[in-house]
Amino acid sequence: MALISPSRRLRRTPFSDGVEAAGVKAYTVYNRMLLPTVFRSVEEDYRHLKDAVQIWDVAVERQVELRGPDAGRLMQMLTPRDLRKMQPGQCFYVPIVDETGGMLNDPVAVKLAEDRWWISIADSDLLFWVKGIAYGYRLDVLVDEPDVSPLAVQGPKADELMARVFGDAVRDVRFFRFGWFEFQGRPLVVARSGYSKQGGFEIYVEGSDLGMPLWNALMEAGKDLDVHAGCPNLIERIEGGLLSYGNDMTDDNTPHECGLGRFCNTNTAIGCVGRDALLRVAQEGPVRQIRPVEIHGAPVPPCDRLWPVMDGDQHVGNISSSAFSPDFNTNVSIGMIRMTHWTAATEVDVVTPDGVRAATVYEAFWQ
């Protein structure tokens, strides 16, 4: 692994001081901001995430704020998910598509009020697309990146830790709902969500000055819970089938190819700019789709480019993420697989940097 050169362009977060003090070992860059990837080791972090509770600096989930009379109309233009029944207090996972139906991002939309939304984005400058659409359609809406930085609390002891800092009422927040909770006299959005399958919360920290005080309060309150700084864990997120935009899907892919058809209501999502392009694939289904793939044998090296999935001479897909799972004792992987080979238990070959490996395609992720 090479070093990363520091510069202002790779933005620090309101929690960076805490991340450094906790001994971060490696980063990735996500939305032009530093995202920790390793504290103790990927394997140690994985075990600890499943056993205890972690604080994650996920400020890289930048917010695109929509505010004004046309905010709701604009939000529906962005996604094939029908938002008519969405209430303030709800979070929706929303595929965002362009006019060709290609995925531009896969964020969580947070409905604060009828005329105010946050879009908590994955790794692409969605702000630019939304601003362009709003300007082109002359919508009455403010589109901006506010000073809001999510801090995640993830792991089986997340409820206990959160209750100690925000009070017992936080335990009542339902999955993909949020409530307003005070910290140092300031109300913060706290949602039950996060990029792991271990349960937990995301705190939308409004105001960078609150970053380190909140980080420190959580660390202090969780000492006897073995709280530790953590980060989205490569192994755990592959096991759970949590996709990563830019890794497992790009603007080449429709939501249906990404297995996100259940989040699309293309017929009734009137106004979605990608609706025309998606109607046909929504009905007939895609010809390739995301699948869990087990790569047999010894641990594979880091997956930094697509690994071809082969059936003899036939190129039937690509692996985009892969890691050795201690709990399942195999290489858990995510791939985009052609229809001809996506049935569960299909045997294929994967061309890794370490040579060709036997692999099996599945339908359900490891949980």
Residue among 198, 244, 346, 352 that touches a copy of itself (CB under 8 A): 244
Count of alpha carbons within 13 angstroms of residue 15, beta-carbon side? 32
Residue among 149, 154, 289, 321 that touches a copy of itself (CB under 8 A): 321
Instruction: Give 54 or 244: the residue with its C-beta nearer to a copy of itself.
Output: 244
Residue with tokens 């969580």: 108
CB contact set of 85 (below 8 Å; sequence gap of 6+): none
- Indicate the burial class of 206 (C-beta count within 10 angstroms; 0-12, 13-18, 19 or more): middle
Are the C-beta atoms of 259 and 362 separated by less than 8 Å?
no
The rounded distance, in Å, linking the Cα atoms of 284 and 98 is 20
**Position 315 contacts a copy of itself (CB under 8 A):** no
Nearest to 22 by CA among 224, 263, 205, 219: 219
Q: What is the largest CA-CA distance in the chain?
A: 64
Which one of 5-13, 82-90, 185-193, 254-262 is the stretch in contact with a copy of itself (CB under 8 A)?
5-13
**Angle at which helices 211-221 and 158-166 pack, to 10 degrees?**
120
**Position 297 contacts a copy of itself (CB under 8 A):** no
Nearest to 172 by CA among 296, 89, 51, 252: 89
On whether 202 is known to bind a ligand per the annotation, the reply is: yes
Angstrom distances, CA of residue 30 to CA of 105, 255, 362: 13, 21, 29
**Position 148 contacts a copy of itself (CB under 8 A):** no
Least separation in angstroms between residue 106's CB and a copy of itself is 13
By rule CB under 8 A, what string of x and - marks binding of each residue 246-285 to a copy of itself? xx-------------------------x------------
Query: Three-state DSSP class for 80?
Result: coil
Residue among 167, 302, 326, 353 that touches a copy of itself (CB under 8 A): 302
**Position 85 contacts a copy of itself (CB under 8 A):** no
Least separation in angstroms between residue 168's CB and a copy of itself is 37
**Position 298 contacts a copy of itself (CB under 8 A):** no
Which one of 53-61, 80-88, 217-225, 304-312 is the stretch in contact with a copy of itself (CB under 8 A)?
304-312
Least separation in angstroms between residue 27's CB and a copy of itself is 5
Map the footprint of a copy of itself across residues 327-366, applying CB under 8 A: none
Instruction: Give 126 or 189: the residue with its C-beta nearer to a copy of itself.
Output: 126
Least separation in angstroms between residue 74's CB and a copy of itself is 11
Least separation in angstroms between residue 187's CB and a copy of itself is 27
Are the C-beta atoms of 367 and 240 separated by less than 8 Å?
yes
Nearest to 163 by CA among 119, 233, 225, 232: 225
Least separation in angstroms between residue 72's CB and a copy of itself is 18
Q: How far apart are the first and last CA of the chain?
A: 30
Query: Three-state DSSP class for 275?
Result: helix
Instruction: Give 191 or 322: the residue with its C-beta nearer to a copy of itself.
Output: 322
Q: How many residues bind a copy of itself (CB under 8 A)?
A: 50
Least separation in angstroms between residue 294's CB and a copy of itself is 19
Q: Where are the beta strands (DSSP E) in 171-253?
A: 178-183, 186-191, 200-206, 228-230
* Side chain identity, residue 210: L
What does the binding site for a copy of itself look like in residue numbers (CB under 8 A)? 1-10, 12, 24-30, 32, 37-38, 98-99, 104, 123-133, 135-137, 244-247, 273, 302-306, 320-321
